[in-house]
Amino acid sequence: MKRLENINELTQYIESLKQDGKTIGLVPTMGALHAGHMSLIKRAREENDIVVSSVFVNPIQFNNKEDLEKYPRNLEKDSQLLEENGCDIMFSPNAQEVYKEEPTEQFSFGSLEAVMEGKQRPGHFNGVAIIVSRLFNWVNPNRAYFGEKDFQQIAIIKDMVRQLNSPVEIVPCPIVREEDGLALSSRNARLSQKAREIAPKIHYILQKSATMKDSLSFSQIKTFVVNEFKLIKDFELEYFEIVDDTTLQTISKKGDNGVVGCIAVWLDGVRLIDVQRYY
């Protein structure tokens, strides 16, 4: 596996691969890699000649300084995992390399960013779009792979690709979970032992709510989920919304598109998100 930290070296190397007719799959990450990330690497490996993974904790997508400072980092372990799982290029620049000047790009995603993560984290998705659009420019991938746990982020990136008229194919990949149901996340490493034992209840409650989809209204299901989290004092529910899986707007009844429940909760000072598909 080739490790690169310099943008010019990356673009020159990618250009040589493109000239040889190689297809390229990109897996953008913020490091602290786990089996969920490796499932993306595996999918990219199956569908492309070359797999590139970026490892970069993007400061401009954090609107919480403490969250940025506490975000887990382990570059050497990440490198080992990527190499063992068939990654060809690891790109791990520092912030000075990525943002040599103050970023000025401004993206607007309308109603897609006015809800859930966008509502709770102002500026977050502009920061995501800036780094992902730059990675697309540098890597020039045929396909880019993202986990469905960040469901709203995928919708935002798809819209960014549309706005930029980019040829990159966005490939959503299923959530990978621990045996007890907890969605894999780099932030899980920050949970205390007690909190880690409680955390799977997020998925359990969402799964239970999905069994009610044919007997209760979406409004009643939302009330059920909210009340379930009120009963567990360790959790602080930030939001739970049942939304159209294309527009991301809250819905009261099933339409032509799919339906997903999106949740964000605080546990032990750690913010965790998850997704449940209903239809």
Q: What is Dmax (Cα atoms) for the chain?
A: 59
Length of the chain: 279
Q: Is 50 helix (H, G, I), strand (E, B) or coil?
A: strand
Average pLDDT over residues 207-229: 97
Average pLDDT over residues 216-228: 97
What fold, for 2-173? Rossmann fold (3.40.50)
* CATH number of the 186-274 domain: 3.30.1300.10
Which is nearest to 260 in space by CA: 235, 239, 241? Answer: 241
Average pLDDT over residues 197-214: 97
Q: Identify any residues that bridge with 27 across adjacent strands, giving them in sequence order.
A: 53
DSSP per-residue letters across 104-124: ------GGGGSSHHHHHSTTH
What are the residue boundaries of the structural domains of the chain, listed by start?
Answer: 2-173, 186-274
Which amino acid is located at 276 in the chain? Q
pLDDT bucket at 155, cuts 50 / 70 / 90:
very high
Are the C-beta atoms of 98 and 168 separated by less than 8 Å?
no
**Is 0.85 surpassed by the pTM of this model?**
yes
Average pLDDT over residues 105-118: 96
Which is nearest to 100 in space by CA: 33, 23, 8? Answer: 8
Percent of the chain scoring above 70 in pLDDT: 100
Q: Any idea what the Cα angle at residue 157 is, between residues 26 and 5, rounded to 5°?
A: 40
Which residue, chain included where needed, has tokens 């040599």? 100
pLDDT at 69: 87
pLDDT at 260: 98
For 6-21, the pLDDT digits (tens) are 999 999 999 999 999 9
Residue 250 has pLDDT above 90, yes or no: yes
pLDDT at 66: 82
Rounded Cα distance between 240 and 18, Å, is 43
* Catalytic residue set: 37
Residue 65 has pLDDT above 90, yes or no: no
